[in-house]
């Protein structure tokens, strides 16, 4: 089988060749291990294109992150998209912000160091959406005293030939034994079957990025194949590591394959099947916007209810009016239980604050009091977490002005609602217990989730856009005075 035939086969076997993503698991990590004073990053497809990256990280030879402000002297982009100035591009690189060139042949980012430095590794993060295909022909060259000491080409005919030959050899299909008229479709089926067998035995110890190269990750796929679903499930399980969950955002680079709620559900079912196939205990994963895991709230229901039983009286003693809210309220009203796909318990409190500054100050005082009472606390700067016995509760402050309460709503942004929706508090049944709730629970749910809140939608506010009318978030309610946390 000649090189031209192998390259045609590579298009079928490695549709995601050159892929790297915008999260730590899928980023491009380049082992430099040289003294460097200049780095040039470019896109060398031979055709007009964009250099479009999320951020860059630099590490020394001991793996210690290097401070960009102390390391870099300049960062120059060959062309600049929009009205940004060269100084703004440098500020973005220093701050770890996104950069994007105009469309041109060989767009290049040239970074000069303040002094020669021992660089162990450069990690390049791609865009987080499907425009990541722009960077698959990326190159990186490191210089010292104008001499190239390191050169990397992300995708080329040579690298494709190497990868497809290695893939065929792994499946006991030696290229020299394949004749040119061998059915390409049959070869693909044999390779997929061999890889599937290795996945099920956990004998395919590839990085998430290398597994992703076996899928058409650069485009949105409405219906994932069984093989693609199994690859996604294998990646998901590898990202779980020693934990019993996978953070949903870590799968965002696979959004082209996981583009519908049904494809995500198939992946979670396949993950459970793979665990059992590999000799583990049966597991049922549920997808939530933060985590993919077994239903921790249902599994540890009594633990979370006990935590609520403890925290509400204590907050009342502290002069704070607290109530269940958001996903916990939704589950109580609609299903009289925790939502199966939810991964935390939410409460909102009113402490009489009249401004964001006052709410922030009082929040710090409340955290101190809860910690002194024996709760574990974690401050997120806006909301905060409290836990007792391992059950974590997400606690949200608010403040009142002109008859309206401002509270955190969709996408972690603050906006105000009529105070009479929240106060005075009412009560709600959750399992066999009664807890404080907003004055008008349905009114808050309409404000927070839209008129469609009565219909279950586990993909509401999903980290990436899903296709399908039934999977789109409900339209937002009236929004006024919205501010970012």
Query: Are residues 399 and 325 part of one domain?
Result: yes
Q: What is the CATH number of the domain that holds 411?
A: 3.30.460.10
Q: Answer whether residue 478 is part of any domain.
A: no
Q: Answer whether residue 2 is part of any domain.
A: no
Among 232, 266, 293, the domain boundary falls at 293
pLDDT in tens, 147-187: 999 999 999 999 999 999 999 999 888 766 665 556 888 89
Query: Are residues 113 and 171 part of one domain?
Result: no
Q: Answer whether residue 5 is part of any domain.
A: no
pLDDT in tens, 297-311: 888 999 999 999 999
Query: Are residues 420 and 309 part of one domain?
Result: yes
Structure confidence at residue 435 (pLDDT)? 97
Rounded to an integer, what distance in angstroms lies between the CA atom of residue 125 and that of residue 469? Answer: 31
Query: Are residues 203 and 54 part of one domain?
Result: no
pLDDT in tens, 8-63: 999 999 999 999 999 999 999 999 999 999 999 999 999 999 999 999 999 999 99
Query: Are residues 127 and 39 part of one domain?
Result: yes
Structure confidence at residue 467 (pLDDT)? 87
Query: Are residues 275 and 306 part of one domain?
Result: no
Among 105, 126, 154, the domain boundary falls at 154
Give the number of domains in the chain: 3
Among 124, 154, 184, the domain boundary falls at 154
Query: Are residues 322 and 271 part of one domain?
Result: no
pLDDT in tens, 420-456: 999 999 999 999 899 999 999 999 999 999 998 998 8
Q: Answer whether residue 437 is part of any domain.
A: yes
Query: Are residues 446 and 372 part of one domain?
Result: yes
Q: Answer whether residue 1 is part of any domain.
A: no
Q: Answer whether residue 10 is part of any domain.
A: no
Query: Are residues 360 and 270 part of one domain?
Result: no
Query: Are residues 262 and 140 part of one domain?
Result: no
pLDDT in tens, 191-241: 999 999 999 999 898 999 999 999 999 999 988 999 999 999 999 999 999
Q: Answer whether residue 311 is part of any domain.
A: yes
Q: Answer whether residue 379 is part of any domain.
A: yes
191 lies in which domain range?
Answer: 161-293
Query: Are residues 330 and 248 part of one domain?
Result: no
Query: Are residues 345 and 249 part of one domain?
Result: no
């Amino acid at each position: 089988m000649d090189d031209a035939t192998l390259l045609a086969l590579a298009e079928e076997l490695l549709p995601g060749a050159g892929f790297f993503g915008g999260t730590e698991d899928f980023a491009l990590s380049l082992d430099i291990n040289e003294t460097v004073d200049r780095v040039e990053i470019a896109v060398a497809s031979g055709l007009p294109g964009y250099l479009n990256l999320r951020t860059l990280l630099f590490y020394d030879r001991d793996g210690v992150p290097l401070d960009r402000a102390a390391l870099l002297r300049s960062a120059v982009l060959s062309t600049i998209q929009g009205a940004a100035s060269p100084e703004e591009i440098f500020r973005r690189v220093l701050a770890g912000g996104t950069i994007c060139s105009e469309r041109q042949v060989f767009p290049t980012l040239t970074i000069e160091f303040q002094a020669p430095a021992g660089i162990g590794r450069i990690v390049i993060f791609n865009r987080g959406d499907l425009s990541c295909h722009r960077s698959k022909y990326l190159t990186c060259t490191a210089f010292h005293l104008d001499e190239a000491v390191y050169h990397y080409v992300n995708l080329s005919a040579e690298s494709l030939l190497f990868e497809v030959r290695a893939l065929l050899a792994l499946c006991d299909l030696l290229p020299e034994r394949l004749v040119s008229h061998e059915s390409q479709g049959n070869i693909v089926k044999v390779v997929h079957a061999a890889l599937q067998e290795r996945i099920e035995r956990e004998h395919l110890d590839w990085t998430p990025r290398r597994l992703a190269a076996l899928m058409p990750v650069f485009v949105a796929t409405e219906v994932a194949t069984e093989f693609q679903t199994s690859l996604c499930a294998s990646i998901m399980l590898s990202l779980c590591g020693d934990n019993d969950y996978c953070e949903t955002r870590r799968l965002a680079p696979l959004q082209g394959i996981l583009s519908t709620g049904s494809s995500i559900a198939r992946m979670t079912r396949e993950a459970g099947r793979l665990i059992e196939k590999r000799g583990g205990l049966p597991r049922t994963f549920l997808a939530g916007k933060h985590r993919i895991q077994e239903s921790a709230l249902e599994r540890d229901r009594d633990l979370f209810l006990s935590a609520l039983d403890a925290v509400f009286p204590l907050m009342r003693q502290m002069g704070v009016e607290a109530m269940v809210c958001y996903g916990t309220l939704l589950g109580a009203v609609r299903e009289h239980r925790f939502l199966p796909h939810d991964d935390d318990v939410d409460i909102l409190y009113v402490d009489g604050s009249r401004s964001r500054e006052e709410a922030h100050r009082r929040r710090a005082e409340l955290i101190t009091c809860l910690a002194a009472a024996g709760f574990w606390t974690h401050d997120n700067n806006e909301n905060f977490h409290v836990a007792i016995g391992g059950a974590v509760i997400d606690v949200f402050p608010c403040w009142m002005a002109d008859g309206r309460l401002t509270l955190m709503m969709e996408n972690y942004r603050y906006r105000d609602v009529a105070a009479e929706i929240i106060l005075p508090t009412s009560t709600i049944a959750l399992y066999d217990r009664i807890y404080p709730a907003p004055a008008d629970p349905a009114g808050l749910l309409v404000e927070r989730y839209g008129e469609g809140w009565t219909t279950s939608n586990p993909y509401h506010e999903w980290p990436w856009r899903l296709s399908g009318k039934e999977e789109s978030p409900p339209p937002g309610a009236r929004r006024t005075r919205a501010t970012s946390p």
